[in-house]
A and B are shown apart, each in its own frame.
Chain A
Amino acid sequence: MHLYHLTLQRPTAAIQAIVGNFSGLRQQEIIVAHNASLELFRVDAQSGKLSSVVTADVFGSIRCLEPFKLVGSNKDYIIVGSDSGRIVILEFSESSNKFTKVHQETYGKTGVRRTVPGAFLATDPRGRSVMIAAQEKSKLVYILNRDAASNLTISSPLEAHRTACIIHHIVGVDVGFENPMFAALEVDYAESDQDPTAEAAQKMLTYYELDLGLNHVVRKWSEPTDSRANLLVQVPGGHTSAGVVEGPSSVLVCCENHVIYHKIGAIPHRVPIPRRHGVSERQGLLIVTAVMHKMKGAFFFLLQSEVGDLYKVTLDLFDEQVHSMSIKYFDTVPVARSLCILKSGFLFVASEFGNQCLYQFQTLGDDDNEIQYSSSSYPEFGMSPLPHVYFHPRPLQNLVLADEIISFNPIIDAQVSGTESPQIFAACGRGSRSSFRTLRHGVRVEEVVSCDVQSTPNGVWAIKRAENDPKDVYIVLSFGNGTLVFSIGEALVEVQDAGFLLSAPSLAIQQLGSDSLVQVHPSGVRHILFGGKVQEWTPPSGLTITSAVANQRQIVVALSSAEIVYFELDLDGQLNEYQERKAMGSAVLALGLGAVEDGRQRYSYLSVGCQDQTVRIFSLDPENTLESLSLQALASPPASICMINHLVYIGLQNGVLLQTVLDTSTGQFVDTSSRFLGTRPVRLSRIRIQGMSGIIALSSRSWIAHIGNSRMTPLLHENIDHGCSFTHDLCPDGFIGTTGSILRIFRTPKLDDKLDQTSTSLCHTPRQMVRHPNNGYFYIVEGDTNRAATDSFPGSWVSSVHILDPIKRETVACVPLDSNEAAFSIAIVPFSAREGQLILVVGTATDVILNPRSYTSGFLRTYLFKENGEIELHHKTAVDDIPLALGAFQGRLVAGVGRALRLYDIGKQKLLLKAENKSFASTIMTLHTQGSRIVVGDMQHSLNFIAFKEHENRLLLVADDTQSRWTTCSTMLDYNTAIAGDRFGNVFVNRLSPDVSAAVDSDPTGDGILREKPLLNGAPHKTSTLAHFYLGDLPTSIQKASLVTGAREVIIYTGLHGTIGMFVPLVSTDDIDFLVALEQRICSEQGSLVGRNHLSWRGYYVPVKGVVDGDLCESFQQLSNDWQRVVAAELDRSVGEVAKKLEQIRVMASGF
């Protein structure tokens, strides 16, 4: 088995976000680290919109990031700590729009290990050194400098290790230009590990000084601090060039419930963290992230608590001494991994779950009514026991939401369904920010205006009056018996006097030359000069014009005699007919002519599509006008042709679009690719969008592509019959489309978002969902441990069954569960005892505490469906453990209740236990059935294959896995094969040997398998692993489905951090050989940005088997041209062939 892995949507969860001048421009940029990619954002200060500039896959896990600026430089470097055992310094290059590696220094083993640095980074604020630390013991300091050519240099590492010491956080201390200093929050466990009578280890705030003169690191100062301290925040220090004190230096220590300002040799200050009124006080309040912002002559801190409240902390200074520290409530935003403040007055919140948000500061909260708590108002500056203080949360006052980046993180469950246009339905989010999202491949369309023109047009054009007009002036509609012209103003007004012939249909309308217009109608070419003067060319008597094409300077018409007539505008603005007419010999169906480039006189090629299923290319150059260059046969008669520079798009009548490149030297087509767009003949129209040329292709679905990305993307809009682009003040980059007699003006605001999503709110964290086979509703079980309410207690839950209509995107009903029950699993079962009546089964448990695991009872609730899709409780069956997996099996319910696999049938009062197997090692997480086979995913022990023997009522364990894997999701690929994902980010395929499978199935009683000896303390047989791959994200759902109508099925998975990806089964050995070779070549050519070996990363836990990483293969496009040629040559292909093959696999499987 060979699979090809492709990520369709990269993980969107932020690991960390940093702000800096990465491209060296004045403008600040934000870099967000996702699991294994870096993304650079820019903020438009005017509109407050975030735009993603570049995303780079790094093929390694990024753990921390720090911006770093050398003294006097205006460009930030990016220091990356990852699992590669190397410190990497990256630079963003504006010109090539890429991250490039400046330095890569190896210091340790790969992987996330507790004593290998990479967990924390701290930089000296003056840009002289960086410290990289592990979670335990190891700290390395590198000195950064610049050489004579002002390149960045990096020293060999200096050790600041401390054995048996757990590191909570490190931060660079601002000491001006004295020796660089780093603060670390550490606990030493050496003594408490050895001596049972030792006092509890103290948490120490330790300063490490890098002595630049002696080139070593010393432990300068170490002082016990609060035992629940978790975070350090840098406080400005040193002096400006003018000698003004910038700040008192040192650090803020954030602890549970308190914030302490700590400085060597000074009195510490402490303030309490205000808590919300009326919220449970079982647990202390933790600061999870913080940001310091320096302005001219002042600075402040924003600290964020674990519930999302922001606090503003300020220090009152006298000279360099802190007089008091004050804290007050600022605003509430989603809980963040990182906060970034931009100089342009924005706050970027890299949320830990859900969308990333950009806020704009309205005020700094200086003069509001919030109570401020100061250390100077408490005895001993707050170092004696402090009372709790409170605030009332309120809507945003100081911040206003400016923009959001859609993030699916976390995807908890997902399902692909729909045959017409497959959609991905995902249950995302957590707590009150939970949502149900529908994802469709396509570009979202926003309708600006629509009107009914009473009859059905057969053509639509929007044109300018003169070349220099900034916007379109006329909309021209052609009908079977005439032409309508509208002038565009405040409203669309029909005009009669524009010079057009209104009594005949139009074949082409074009703004010509500098200020004239042309209309081609069946009986003539009408040239409308500036001032309204009209010149008309008429075809020889008895002939009519059947089709026409025009650009700014050229017109080509085809006559009913299958002749081509060519006109060109001369320099005086006169339209001249070329004397010769070219006979085609077959009726002309389509003509294609590209736009005249700036400064050119003409476009040099004409393409003519004929009834005899050919396309011919003619030259339009003066020396060989209308000389035939080439002839290309087609599979079906052409319907329309569109040329953009050297790209030729041919829409065929059978609904296929051909996309080819015109070789200008020979006139031949090269690199032809085809794509089925819909069931109707493909109509093409050239457009301009975002300053680029592009096309729209109209068939039974509408598609759009632009030169920047030539892949066709569907427009999420109802069918369009005719269309063209449209420019207007209200709607720049707009389109006009007609559907029947309706004229619509619309635009595509997010052209680059290929995955359109819509979101519906849920009440609580979703846990599992199921779709009703008949009414199409989703039934989602959701629940949260309720910690916030004052009356909450450990193990208190709010949980419900949420019924949602995915088409109307609304909640149908939300059925809450009572008596502290929490729902974990859901299934719809057609019980054969009730003639296949569908019954909803929900697995719940009461008083659940997850860790350490406890509950009072589990239940299986059955619900009957009402007409409108709502549910009513039928009965409730108590079970002895938490049911985490439910499914339908041969007209019964199969349930994984704790470690027992059970079959239930429905009874009048409760579910009736029919069969049971309790031989599972931990807890059953997933269940899948086919025939008499059940595949059970165990929480810790991989997949188990079960055979059900009906006569004996036995559930027999046939085979298990040799490796213990922590299954999270699984699905059956065929009767003997299953794919599953585990908690650590692996996806694997297990297969039961067909011999064993057949032997088990042919044994009617199952006695044979029952008597077989257990193998390796488990089942009598073992499955074999066919494929294995590390994703870098935790797979939460996996499913076999096809993403393109009528295409082969692929395996689609979603990851917790928002990944959507797929595995494409490779069938031909040619493809396999080619892709494996390509992957190997690219792997050796292109090192990972973080210095991780690709093969070792994809084989994080188990070596990769049977999977080619398409993400790496597709990075072929990012290789330099020379390398592309080298790689392609090694594979005996051309660069174009390699690119085309990759594109083809992607498009065939996903349509993306």
Chain B
Amino acid sequence: MASELRYTANTQLEHLHARYTGTGHADISKYDWVTHQHRDTLASIVGHPTLTSYLAIADGESLGRIRFEMTEKMLQPCGPPPRRDED
């Protein structure tokens, strides 16, 4: 029901989802949800200089490397999506 509403009746909601990347919905898959979570976390680490420094000191890497690797990880933080059953 909820999904029908989302896809048919409530185009405004759909628009909002497109606009606000990372917003969840009732039928979100586990993969999508966890991917969003990871992307938010990674973006937060890159965006907060103290967190980047903290990781860099722990890992013995340069800040540039940490920022780069974290941004790279944002692409597929939880690996490729699961295969969907054809229906």
| Chain A interface (Cβ < 8 Å from any Cβ of B) | 13, 15, 35, 61, 63, 83, 112-115, 119, 135-137, 163-164, 166, 168, 187, 189, 192-196, 201, 228, 230, 286-289, 306-307, 335, 337, 352-353, 409-410, 412, 430-431, 765, 784-785, 787, 850-851, 983-985, 1033-1034, 1055-1057
Contact = CB atoms under 8 A, between A and B. Distances in A.
B64 A288 contact: yes
User: Dominant SS at the A interface?
Assistant: loop
A192 B76 CA distance: 8
Contacts of B62: 286, 288, 306-307, 335, 352
A984 B43 contact: no
10 contacts: A13-B49, A114-B47, A114-B74, A163-B18, A166-B74, A193-B32, A194-B81, A288-B65, A353-B53, A851-B59
Size category, B interface: 35 or more
Given A114-B22, A196-B83, A337-B63, A15 B57 contact: no
B54 interface: yes
Nearest to A109: B20
A462 B32 CA distance: 79
B21 A114 contact: yes
Nearest to B58: A850
B48 A112 contact: yes
Given A192-B80, A196-B82, A1034 B50 contact: yes
A187 B51 contact: no
Given A163-B18, A193-B32, A410-B57, 12 more contacts: A112-B44, A112-B47, A112-B48, A136-B74, A164-B21, A192-B81, A230-B68, A352-B63, A409-B53, A984-B48, A984-B51, A1056-B57
Nearest to B47: A112
B43 A785 contact: no
B60 A192 contact: no
Interface in B36-87: 39-40, 43-44, 46-51, 53-54, 56-65, 68, 71-72, 74-76, 80-84
A644 to B, nearest CB: 43
Contact of A135 (B68, B71, B72): B71
Nearest to B55: A851
Given A115-B22, A136-B21, A851-B59, A410 B75 contact: no
Contact of A137 (B21, B44, B60): B21
Contacts of A431: 60
Contact of B81 (A61, A63, A193, A287): A193
A192 B50 contact: no
Interface string B10-27: 000000001011100000
Given A61-B48, A135-B74, A196-B80, A289 B64 contact: yes
Nearest to B61: A306
Contact of A114 (B39, B60, B80, B83): B39
Given A137-B21, A196-B82, A1056 B60 contact: no
A135 B74 CA distance: 10
Contacts of B65: 286, 288, 306
A281 B44 CA distance: 30
- Residue of B20, B54, B63, B64 with most partner-chain A CB within 10 A: B64
Given A135-B74, A137-B21, A1034-B54, A35 B49 contact: yes
A136 B68 CA distance: 14
Contacts of B64: 230, 286-289, 306, 335, 352
B71 A1057 contact: no
B75 A187 contact: yes
A163 B56 contact: no
A136 B49 CA distance: 18
A478 to B, nearest CB: 57
Contacts of B74: 114, 135-136, 166, 189
A983 B68 contact: no
Contacts of B53: 13, 352-353, 409-410, 1034, 1056-1057
Contact of B50 (A307, A765, A850, A1057): A1057
A523 to B, nearest CB: 69
Given A13-B53, A286-B65, A410-B53, A168 B35 contact: no
A189 B75 contact: yes
B80 A166 contact: no
Contacts of B83: 196
A306 B63 CA distance: 8
B28 to A, nearest CB: 13
A853 to B, nearest CB: 11
Given A189-B75, A1056-B53, A115 B20 contact: yes
Nearest to B83: A196
Contacts of B46: 119, 135
Contact of A1056 (B39, B54, B80): B54
Looking at A286, A787, A984, the one whose CB has the most chain B CB atoms below 10 A away is A286
Contacts of B63: 288, 335, 337, 352
A353 B46 CA distance: 17
Contact of A983 (B21, B51, B60): B51
A411 to B, nearest CB: 11
A785 B60 contact: yes
A926 to B, nearest CB: 16
Contact of A63 (B21, B32, B47, B71): B47
Nearest to B49: A15
B50 A35 contact: yes
Nearest to A1100: B48
B1 to A, nearest CB: 24
B75 A192 contact: yes
A307 B63 CA distance: 11
Contacts of B84: 196
B47 A119 contact: yes
A230 to B, nearest CB: 5
A850 to B, nearest CB: 6
Contacts of B75: 166, 187, 189, 192, 201
B81 A1056 contact: no
Nearest to A194: B81
Would you list the 3 A-B pairs with minimal beta carbon distance, nearest first? A288-B64, A114-B43, A112-B47
A288 B82 CA distance: 35
A335 B54 CA distance: 16
Contacts of A114: 21-22, 39-40, 43-44, 47, 74
Contacts of B61: 306
A1033 B43 contact: no
A19 to B, nearest CB: 20
A115 B84 CA distance: 28
Contact of B49 (A194, A230, A1057): A1057
Contact of A1034 (B18, B51, B72): B51
Contacts of B39: 114, 136
Contacts of B71: 135, 166, 168, 230
A286 B68 contact: yes
A63 B43 CA distance: 13
Contacts of A228: 72
A1082 to B, nearest CB: 26
A201 B72 CA distance: 11
A164 B71 CA distance: 13
A135 B43 contact: yes
A137 B19 CA distance: 10
Contacts of A306: 61-62, 64-65
B60 A784 contact: yes
Contacts of A307: 62
A189 B22 CA distance: 13
A787 to B, nearest CB: 6
Given A163-B18, A168-B71, A194-B81, A135 B47 contact: yes
Contacts of B32: 193
A479 to B, nearest CB: 59
A168 B69 CA distance: 11
Contacts of B18: 163
B43 A136 contact: yes
A230 B73 CA distance: 13
A196 B76 CA distance: 11
A337 B56 CA distance: 13
